[in-house]
Chains A and B, each alone.
Chain A
């Protein structure tokens, strides 16, 4: 398949099928049948088996005619990628449809009060009783849990094994009595993440993913997809202003489902706003401000091109170089630099928020949201460990937590 062929095919498909007067779910189901919703997925499962790098061509053609895609925002993408790689056919049949139509929302039940960076230290327990998994423990920072239908759960099934071997991976039905979700307010005032208390929650054995004790391996797939999604080339859905039915439904979806996440673009630093803001506030000719903006743009553009190089390599079927792994760290550095540049440009307006800051609070939100990007999805320090130990093959830290049964490893008392 050449780039030109793919472009011609998707153009032809859209010409024959795209209709903004369809219902949102109705159109997404059509897309799933055609494989154009997730073109890099296998043909058997709603895809066309194209290389990942070619999806940008498809995205471009969709954008040209204003066609809406399948649901791709949030944890659902991680769920889909994990189920595709490790799930059974039954999992794929049961879950992929609701993920892509947008009718079902997912969350990632990994982090716990006692284990964040040290995910493999998870201490939520799953015990087999009368043929069912019974779950007890607490998860935290769980984005979307308050409106999720399903959760990707990492839980300990063997306390005598070393920490990485005692974990298993499950799909948890969030709508059951044993699952208690409390929203957590963030420093920027939003509440997109939660505490999740699990008390005798039940999972049918068929919703275990992969073999017993393989939970860490499966979790790694989820995390790799999360990190990839965090790179600076990521785009966020914004509602189209058009009036046809499908746009109306998409706007409603964004307004409701996406409401807790309106700050996500701001946590990336909104580099796109810098020049216009500088012009609007009469700072564009100030040499110190220009230098600062130029530095941020240099970082942001280089990060974006790095992500593109990674995708181009994958489109050409070549193995990815190190550029695939540095995207998340680069995004974090860009966000921090953009925070400072926005402060310089805003001047005294940086002291204000809400409708007093001259941007309906968008700039104020940038200033108090960028710290998230250096923590969520693996902290900057963990990213540096991954880069140095996995890519650069530098010696690993001395470990004292992996050589003994997990029950004997010192842990936080929480």
Chain B
């Protein structure tokens, strides 16, 4: 594992941070979160074009930049910090990764360039209503139809499901075992419904499939591992995204208490405030270390990478929400208002706690893979 970022990586981070500070201040987040689409196509175009974040980890031969999970995770962290409203997580982190891991060479050649350029937005539909993202929670099973397959049933909590032009679907192959399929979002037998999301900066949808023709990505027998590897990348990026948000909350709360006076003195001078701030730093720094290590482990093909990805998600789930609770508390009454920005991150923290599985689930997944290959 690598324990520090290269100069190029640091450079990339500061460039992205400057961009997001300009394009995704809280006023922009508020403006986007009340729209149905939930993102600004101009900002998306710049992110894809000038900054090339949509191409980051896509191999060069498929139109990408050929970077690793570490770079992807840096982007996620900065976007989480800025609470960026954009389909980056759905399209680049989820769908592109799934295609990279599962698709045949031909399929990658056909599908990835449009994702790398940001021209097509894609998403991954895995969890089912009331279910979850773990393979054993996925019940939908494909049916063989001629040369291809069809899917019937419902997927839910699909990130940017309404914005996507392409959907990658995790479902069981007819013979059992998870496989990855894909279809156009406006394809035959596919219908989408927007869901009310608790975090308005992140749009969700339910997708119903009614004998919808789908294309199998790659080889069904390799699907389970492809989905697991995709999950590792998603968990790692989500953890880093969450840490970015947590750090921002931590910094904002610290700035607020340093400004505010009660009892004739700065509330930052009360020991309980200082201890809270110290605890928040501890929580966030520990979680960041886990997030970075998960990315590095994936890039190094470390045999423990799977366990570490789940560890990082479990750590971030607790650190982010705890930081959000402290941040509201440190603001006092104003922290509970809609006009104050703290709640925007609070809701992201809450939603992310459940997204891709909660801390309990990932502690269990971590234990199942801990040292198994070492």
Residues of chain A having any CB pair with chain B under 8 Å = 111, 114-118, 121, 140-141, 184-187, 189, 193, 281, 288-289, 336, 340, 343-344, 346-358, 364, 367-368, 371-372, 374-376, 379-381, 384, 397, 399-401, 409-412
User: A400 contacts which of B197, B265, B364 (Cβ < 8 Å)?
Assistant: B265
A-B contact pairs, 15 of them (CB 8 A): A117-B267, A118-B263, A187-B346, A187-B347, A289-B360, A347-B354, A348-B355, A350-B351, A352-B195, A367-B198, A371-B329, A380-B329, A401-B264, A410-B264, A412-B261
Q: CB distance A354 to B260 under 8 Å? A: no
Q: CB distance A352 to B198 under 8 Å? A: yes
| Residue B287 at the chain A interface, CB threshold 8 Å | no
Pick the interface stretch among B59-67, B124-132, B229-237. B124-132
| Residue B332 at the chain A interface, CB threshold 8 Å | yes
Pick the interface stretch among B19-27, B43-51, B337-345. B337-345
Within 8 Å CB of B4, what residues of A?
Answer: none
- Scoring B residues 333 to 363 as 1 if CB is less than 8 Å from chain A, else 0, what string do you get? 1011111101100110011011100101000
| Residue B328 at the chain A interface, CB threshold 8 Å | yes
Distance in angstroms between the alpha carbons of A354 and B127 in the assembled complex: 20
B321 to chain A, nearest CB (A): 8
Distance in angstroms between the alpha carbons of A364 and B333 in the assembled complex: 21
* A interface majority secondary structure: mixed
Chain B residue nearest to A119 (CB atoms) is: B262
Q: CB distance B197 to A187 under 8 Å? A: no
Nearest 5 CB-CB pairs, A to B?
A: A401-B264, A187-B343, A118-B262, A185-B338, A354-B196
User: B343 contacts which of A350, A368, A400, A409 (Cβ < 8 Å)?
Assistant: A368
Distance in angstroms between the alpha carbons of A186 and B338 in the assembled complex: 5
Distance in angstroms between the alpha carbons of A140 and B340 in the assembled complex: 14
Q: Give the number of residue pairs across the A-B interface with Cβ within 8 Å.
A: 143
Chain A residue nearest to B340 (CB atoms) is: A187
Q: CB distance B335 to A409 under 8 Å? A: no
Q: CB distance B199 to A351 under 8 Å? A: yes
Residues of chain B having any CB pair with chain A under 8 Å = 127, 130-133, 156-157, 195-199, 204, 260-265, 267, 270, 272-273, 321, 325, 328-329, 332-333, 335-340, 342-343, 346-347, 350-351, 353-355, 358, 360, 364
Within 8 Å CB of B267, what residues of A?
Answer: 117
Distance in angstroms between the alpha carbons of A296 and B260 in the assembled complex: 34
Q: CB distance B333 to A111 under 8 Å? A: yes
Chain B residue nearest to A287 (CB atoms) is: B360
User: A368 contacts which of B133, B346, B358 (Cβ < 8 Å)?
Assistant: B346
Within 8 Å CB of A354, what residues of B?
Answer: 196
B338 to chain A, nearest CB (A): 4
Q: CB distance A375 to B350 under 8 Å? A: no
* B interface majority secondary structure: mixed
Distance in angstroms between the alpha carbons of A410 and B265 in the assembled complex: 7
Chain A residue nearest to B264 (CB atoms) is: A401
Distance in angstroms between the alpha carbons of A349 and B129 in the assembled complex: 8
Q: CB distance B332 to A116 under 8 Å? A: yes
Q: CB distance A351 to B204 under 8 Å? A: yes
Q: CB distance A117 to B197 under 8 Å? A: no
Q: CB distance B336 to A375 under 8 Å? A: yes
Q: CB distance B333 to A375 under 8 Å? A: yes
Within 8 Å CB of A186, what residues of B?
Answer: 336-338
Q: CB distance B196 to A353 under 8 Å? A: yes
A117 in contact with B354 given A184-B337, A352-B197 (CB within 8 Å): no
Distance in angstroms between the alpha carbons of A304 and B305 in the assembled complex: 46
A331 to chain B, nearest CB (A): 15
Within 8 Å CB of B350, what residues of A?
Answer: 343, 350, 367-368
Distance in angstroms between the alpha carbons of A184 and B335 in the assembled complex: 12
Q: CB distance B132 to A347 under 8 Å? A: yes
Which of A368, A380, A384 has the largest number of chain B CB atoms within 10 A? A368
Q: CB distance A189 to B338 under 8 Å? A: yes
Chain B residue nearest to A410 (CB atoms) is: B264
Within 8 Å CB of A399, what residues of B?
Answer: 263-264
User: B198 contacts which of A141, A185, A368, A397 (Cβ < 8 Å)?
Assistant: A368
User: A348 contacts which of B132, B260, B272, B329 (Cβ < 8 Å)?
Assistant: B132
Q: CB distance A351 to B337 under 8 Å? A: no
Q: CB distance A116 to B333 under 8 Å? A: yes
Q: CB distance B130 to A347 under 8 Å? A: yes
Q: CB distance B353 to A187 under 8 Å? A: no
Q: CB distance A351 to B354 under 8 Å? A: yes
User: B197 contacts which of A121, A351, A358 (Cβ < 8 Å)?
Assistant: A351
Chain A residue nearest to B271 (CB atoms) is: A397
Distance in angstroms between the alpha carbons of A288 and B263 in the assembled complex: 44
Within 8 Å CB of A117, what residues of B?
Answer: 262-263, 267, 332
Which of A354, A356, A364 has the largest number of chain B CB atoms within 10 A? A356
Q: CB distance A353 to B197 under 8 Å? A: yes
Q: CB distance B262 to A348 under 8 Å? A: no
A372 in contact with B354 given A118-B263, A281-B130, A401-B263 (CB within 8 Å): no
User: A184 contacts which of B260, B339, B342 (Cβ < 8 Å)?
Assistant: B339
